[in-house]
Amino acid sequence: MPATALLAVSSSSKVAGTLRSAGSSVWTKDELIALVREQLLGHKLILVSNREPYVHRWVDGRIEVQQPASGMAAALDPILRVCGGVWIAHGAGDADRETVNERNEVCVPPFDPKYTLRRVWLTEQQEHDYYYGCSNQIIWPLCHVVFTRPLFEQRYWDAYREVNQLFADAVLDEAADQPALVFIQDYHFALLPRMLKERNPNLIVAQFWHIPWPTAEIFRVFPWGEEMLDGMLGNDLMGFHLRYHSRNFADSVRMGIEARADQTGFDLTRNGHTTLVRAFPISIDFEEFSALGDSAEVAAERENWVRELKLEGKLVGAGIDRIDYTKGIPERLRAFNRLLERSPEYRERLVFVQIGVPSRGEIPDYHALDDEITNLVREINKRWGTRTWKPVALCKGQYNAAEMVALHRLANFFVVSSLHDGMNLVAKEFAASRTDGDGVLVLSRFAGAAREMSQALLVNPFAVEELATAYRTALEMPEEERRRRMRKLRTTLKQNNIYRWASELLSALLRLE
């Protein structure tokens, strides 16, 4: 039976009523469970990503389970907990092999298993060329317009193709002969959809692209563009955060490959197979972050931050990011320096705390960025610091959810200054955790989250003066206005939560005929 027929909508089904309310209600875990049970009709759910949601590592002679710093993994883990199924990902932890069975599987979460994690093993050379090479020195800079030149190496693309095939083998093994819905994540697997469809046309295949898609003119420089687009058109559904990115993708297809578009321009047909291209702004588990914000664990971590960084009685600005050139960390630090220069009344009263999570350390551009950030912090602290006050606290390392949410709750203002970002879930996590109704979000206009979070202070992060002014505006904003803005941000996020995102993706698949 064709994949599309397997998900035909029945007008008499209870599902139809559920779908009609999807845009008007706050979706919950229980509602998504009911939706999944009726819509998937016995299909196995297989999620694919490069990064795994749980990593096993050796720490002081024993194995510990860690959740990596990944917005994608944090957003999707609740979905698999609700839906069940299999998550296929690269096993990167140094104790990952010790924890799997003969099928390279382990049940997660560790203390309350809800789904299966299957690990794919890569050689050191495969990981270097596919991940550090192709994914993050070709596709990542190509899609993020921040003036970093892609490195178009043939060996990187060859490794990318090879690793996509390894993941295809794992998916097909998990699907076997049963009906299955394969949900592929992100830019690491552009070739995977076509590989799957060629070997099992009955699979339902959807992909979500978590980063921006460039304009067609920019994409033209990609040497393997036709192969990449053909791979992605193996999907039944291709999702992006924003309609703008969907339009860019559709334009790239029309300019670069033989395919036909319908009147809307977003249904693309190649060799008789149609791919729906749609926008689905991803979100977070709002209730989970709200509950965490009110927890005793976060309260204890707040005290730790205050004690360790000497924040007692201080105003606090904060940022939490991977150390990546798309995040605008140097820009926000220069703006903070400008604030202290223009507004001496904040000297010795204000501390900016920047968490920098190490990222892609094998890539030279990331080494250079790390050095730039370290040097900027040193210069600012040397210029303005005193014996008892250090203006910037740079905290490099991995931090758990409670530690990061504790910093959210301490911040008078929180900065997301992305130079180009598909969504940026950190901005949403900040607002969701502020159950106290206070705090100000300073948010880049070039982050996808800005489309929903208009009550933040929206800024151009390239404009240092504008960013510095936003910091001062946040610090001097009357309490009534702060609370009004935060209330509206939280209302929006409560409505547009991760469960609504998942339901809308499933609903789009249901509408296939």
Q: Where are the domains of the chain?
A: 3-283+498-510, 291-495
Q: Which residue has the higher pLDDT, 183 or 23?
A: 183
If we measure between CA atoms, which residue out of 292, 256, 262, 286 comes closest to residue 275? Answer: 262
Task: Please check the confidence at residue 17 and state whether its pLDDT lies above 90.
Answer: no
Task: Please check the confidence at residue 105 and state whether its pLDDT lies above 70.
Answer: yes
Instruction: Find the DSSP H helices in 385-510.
Output: 401-410, 425-433, 464-476, 479-495, 498-510
Task: Report d(CA 425, CA 434) in Å as an integer.
Answer: 15
Q: Which residue has the higher pLDDT, 10 or 314?
A: 314
Confidence band (pLDDT; 50, 70, 90) for 31?
Answer: confident
Confidence band (pLDDT; 50, 70, 90) for 111?
Answer: confident
- The whole-number pLDDT of residue 51 equals 94
- The whole-number pLDDT of residue 512 equals 61
For the entire predicted model, the pTM comes to: 0.92
Tens of pLDDT, residue by residue over 258-312, are 999 998 889 999 999 999 999 999 999 999 999 999 999 999 999 999 999 999 9
CATH superfamily of 3-283+498-510: Glycogen Phosphorylase B; (3.40.50.2000)
Top CATH class of 291-495 equals alpha beta
Task: Report d(CA 2, CA 390) in Å as an integer.
Answer: 64
Average pLDDT over residues 147-156: 96
- The whole-number pLDDT of residue 510 equals 65
Task: Report d(CA 503, CA 78) in Å as an integer.
Answer: 13
Task: Please check the confidence at residue 23 and state whether its pLDDT lies above 80.
Answer: no
Tens of pLDDT, residue by residue over 365-416, are 999 999 999 999 999 999 999 999 999 999 999 899 999 999 999 999 999 9
Domains 3-283+498-510 and 291-495 alike in fold: yes
